[in-house]
Amino acid sequence: MTGTEAPKPQKLYEQIKQYLLDGIASGQWPDGSRIPSEHELMEVLGASRMTVNRAVRELSADGLLNRVQGLGTFVRAQAPRSALLEIYDISEDIQRRGNVHKSRVLLLEAVRADEALAAAFILRRGARLFHSEIVHFENDLPVQFEVRYVSPRFAPQYLDQDFTQQTSNRYLQSIAPPSEVEHIVHAVAPDERAQALLEIGPHEPCLQVERRTWTEAGPATRSVLTHPGSRYSLGSRYAVAEWNAKKGG
């Protein structure tokens, strides 16, 4: 083999997959719309039914298309993706997608630390902590149930805030950025309360992010963020050199 060897020609079913992907990416077939039938694709692309069927079947297996018996094949709506390696603000995330964010505050109170919380915040049992529970909505659809504990030493005015006007994350970031962050992600089955708040059924899997933050003064926050799996995903993309620079900085 030489460096000038010509690339192998793309197989016809792969060309059909690319044709459909290009149409989806360009907006020709937006989320939820029906793509041409297999018969229509055969006529337009001059391919056999077997070849067209393979292309559509593979894109369906990849989660990009949804085949509905008797109705046709539709572009599957993709769950929004939020950054995992960063502390993102959910309202900014939603607004970047052109949608409307709102929140409902369920609890905003002072509590006494049990044994687990006392250990997490390096406090004595019974020490005072701030606690909030908030549901975040995207276009009136609940997408996150946020449970947060905050050190009063870090954010002494936390209970005085209106978290329908700004997110708790944005407020905490305005005080001081964390010096250290821990993320742990679980796939969980929601309990009855989460089902009711997120308006989902008992069999809807959820993504749950446990987040802890520290400042130079010590533990600052402990949060549990629960998302319906069909409405949200988590991920990130970054330049390796820049990430390494940040770690070494």
Same domain, 98 and 167: yes
Tell me the residue range of the domain where 64 lies: 12-75
- Alpha-helix residue ranges (DSSP H) falling in the chain: 12-26, 38-45, 49-61, 90-96, 115-121, 168-175, 192-198, 240-248
What is the domain count for the chain? 2
pTM above 0.75, yes or no: no
How many other CB atoms sit within 10 Å of the CB of residue 239?
8
- Among 63-77, 113-127, 154-168, 184-198, the minimum mean pLDDT is found in 63-77
pLDDT exceeds cutoff 60 at 94: yes
Q: Is residue 110 part of a domain?
A: yes
Q: How far apart are CA 200 and CA 9, in angstroms?
A: 47
The DSSP bridge partners found for residue 129 are 111
71 and 90 belong to one structural domain = no
**Are 90 and 67 in the same domain?**
no
The CATH number given to whatever domain includes residue 89 is 3.40.1410.10
> Is the residue at 4 inside a domain?
no
Distance between the two ends of the chain, CA-based, in angstroms?
44
Residue 200: inside a domain, yes or no?
yes
Residues 134 and 211 in one domain: yes
Average pLDDT of the segment spanning 212-240: 79
Give me the pLDDT at residue 238, please: 44
Mean pLDDT, the chain, as a whole number?
A: 84
Task: Dump pLDDT digits (tens) for 35-67.
Answer: 999 999 999 889 999 999 999 988 887 778 887
Does residue 142 sit in the same domain as residue 210?
yes
Whether 65 and 178 share a structural domain = no
Does position 24 have pLDDT exceeding 80, yes or no?
yes
Instruction: Based on the fold, state whether residues 60 and 137 are members of the same structural domain.
Output: no
- The vertex-63 CA angle with 202 and 12, nearest 5°, equals 165
Same domain, 149 and 224: yes
Identity of the residue numbered 140: D
For the domain that residue 35 is a member of, what is the CATH number? 1.10.10.10
Residue where a domain stops, chosen among 49, 75, 101: 75
